[in-house]
Amino acid sequence: MASALLLTASACALAVSSAAGRSYQADPAHTGSGPIHAKVLLMRDPAPASSGLSTRRRARVRILAVEVGQRWLTSGATALVSAPSWRDAARGDVYELDGTLDTTFAAEAPSVGAIRARSARLVERPGGLDAWRRDTHSAFADVCQTLPRDARGLVPGMSIGDDRLVPSDLADAMTATSLTHLTAISGSHIVIILATLNLLLPARKPLRVGATILVLATIVILVGPEASVLRSVCVASVASLGLVLGREGQTIAALCAVVTATLLIDPWASRSYGFALSALAALAVVGPSAALARGVKRRVRGDTRVGKALRRLAELVCVPALAELFTAPLIVSLSGTVPVWGIGANVAAEPAVPVATLAGLSGALLALISPPMSSACARVASWATGWIAGAARFFAGMPGAGLRVPGGGATLLSIYGCAGLGWVAWRAWKRWVLPRTDEARDP
């Protein structure tokens, strides 16, 4: 049965990836460097260009159509676009561009490269919920302008996933200490929000499930359909359904189903390092980390202060430690270095994460309703993000913060393989050799 499922999954993967590859090669936007006239859909809010003196902004877009001759041909490729006068542009807007396509930059499938637009004309701006999201982001950005420099980027980043204004030096420090996941709304943020919701609501399953679905839908609309958001929301939705059906504990199965569905819908996600890192970290959290925490609870008494402190310490360390171990080979293969102080930085930042997330999200939701209350919430969130920024810079400045690993990810995988074989050998020795030794000693 398992072999049949594996063969079926492999066949589906080959078929989907082959179809995606053929579609990319035949895309009308995939024609080489040169002039381009296209209609594009903004996939993210435009961010300022790297140069502070430039008035241009850039964003990842999906190309809807390309003009070839006198005809518009449908396209499905993506591109990185820099354009003038995009200060008011937002995710979901459709623009008609005239510019130059450079296929030598950012041209890994499904992207065809980078487009430097000479002109950008707004063709369509969505209304309804998209308009609410756009207005909320804009109003909250105005509220955060009065905050300190680090908080102007971290508060919206940790609450609604808008990390465009995070200072470059802070972004580098967070990368060096494995804290960048805090500005991508993901599983940890969803857990914090749902845990708070469960504390506020009475213990009735239908009410909690309904409120959970409503909150998750609001998060998706407010933050946008980012891959990390959709994956976390889908896993939480499956877990909520399991709660209603009386089948709790299916989180790993839900995660595997969501990852598989994502790859079938968007085969190019299989080439995304961000997707792989996020999936590995999520697996570490819901799998071995949760099992290790349960093991500590079974073995450590919880009726004493020392026992409670040890349990809490184990919970604080298990999640970042296992996530670090699971993602380390991929991180090393990308950068050649391992974030030695990543676990310490995550443990130090963890107490401030719930405050920053909840206060920031409350401020965003209040931005259109009551700017003064939104400003107060943002100010509270800025205190928490100040702690997080301080932890990132402190640990990034520690000796050996970016330890270079010879051989890259292959070296770490070899070490993990040897450790795994050693653990299996120890278990086998404990199970088979020790009992026979004890029997031989008995008279």
- Both 106 and 140 in one domain: the answer is no
Give me the mean pLDDT over the 166-187 stretch: 85
In a domain? residue 320: yes
Reading phi first (left if > 0) and then psi (alpha if -120 to 50, else beta), residue 204 is in beta
Write out the residue range of the structural domain in which residue 81 sits. Answer: 21-126
Structural domains in the chain (count):
2
- Angle between helical axes of 290-299 and 305-335 (0-180°, round to 10): 160
**Cβ within 8 Å of residue 161, ≥6 positions away:** 183, 184, 185, 223, 224, 226, 229
Q: Are residues 242 and 347 in the same domain?
A: yes
Asked, for residue 431, whether it belongs to a domain, the answer is no
Higher per-residue pLDDT: 173 or 252: 173
Task: pLDDT band for 107, please (50, 70, 90 cuts).
Answer: low
Bigger pLDDT: 204 vs 312:
312
Do both 92 and 144 map to the same domain? no
Average confidence (pLDDT) over 67-80: 86
Same structural domain, 93 and 141 = no
In a domain, 62, yes or no: yes
Per-residue pLDDT at 51 exceeds 60: no
Same domain, 185 and 73: no
What integer pLDDT is reported at residue 9 of this predicted model?
59
Q: How confident is the model at residue 333 (pLDDT cuts 50, 70, 90)?
A: confident
Residue 434 within any structural domain of the chain: no
Reply yes or no on whether the pLDDT at 242 is more than 70.
Answer: no
Strand bridging mode 337-339 / 111-124: unpaired
Whether residues 244 and 188 fall in one domain: yes
Give the per-residue pLDDT at 12: 64
Half-sphere exposure at residue 400, Cβ-oriented, CA atoms within 13 angstroms: 3
Same domain, residue pair 216 and 344: yes
Q: Is residue 343 part of a domain?
A: yes
338: which strand partners? 403
Q: Write the secondary structure of the chain as one string of H (helix), E (strand) and C (coil).
A: CHHHHHHHHHHHHHHHHHHHHHHHHCCCCCCCCEEEEEEEEECCCCEECCCCCCCCEEEEEEEEEEEECCEEEECCCEEEEEECCCCCCCCCCEEEEEEEEECCCCCCCCEEEEEEEEEEEEEECCCCHHHHHHHHHHHHHHHHCCCCHHHHHHHHHHHHCCCCCCCHHHHHHHHHCCCHHHHCCCHHHHHHHHHHHHHHCCCCHHHHHHHHHHHHHHHHHHHCCCHHHHHHHHHHHHHHHHHHHCCCCCHHHHHHHHHHHHHHHCHHHHHCHHHHHHHHHHHHHHHHHHHHHHHHHHHCCCCCHHHHHHHHHHHHHHHHHHHHHHHHHHHHHHHCEEECCHHHHHHHHHHHHHHHHHHHHHHHHHCCCCHHHHHHHHHHHHHHHHHHHHHHHHHHCCCCCEEECCCCHHHHHHHHHHHHHHHHHHHHHHHHHHHHHHHHHCC
Q: Are residues 151 and 176 in the same domain?
A: yes
228 and 307 in a single domain? The answer is yes
Digit-coded pLDDT (tens) for 189-209: 787 887 788 777 776 677 777
Q: How much is the pLDDT for 237?
A: 66
Contact of 378 with 406, CB cutoff 8 Å: no
pLDDT class for 343, splitting at 50, 70, 90? confident
Whole-number pLDDT of residue 13: 59
Asked if the model's pLDDT at residue 154 lies above 90, the reply is yes
160 & 213 share domain: yes
- Residue predicted with more confidence, 89 or 85: 89
Residue 58 and residue 161 in one domain: no
* CATH number of the structural domain spanning residue 83: 2.40.50.140
Shortest CA distance to 255 belongs to which of 186, 159, 179? 186
Q: Is there a single domain that holds both residue 280 and residue 227?
A: yes
Structural Rg of the chain based on CA atoms: 24
Judge whether 438 lies within some domain: no
Report pLDDT for 8: 65
- Is the whole model's pTM more than 0.85, yes or no? no
Long-range contacts of 401-404 (CB under 8 A, 24+ apart): 401/176, 401/177, 401/339, 401/340, 401/341, 402/176, 402/335, 402/337, 402/338, 402/339, 402/340, 403/337, 403/338, 403/340, 404/336, 404/337
Cα 232 to the chain's mean position, in Å?
9
Residue 121 within a domain? yes
| Residue at 282 is within a domain | yes
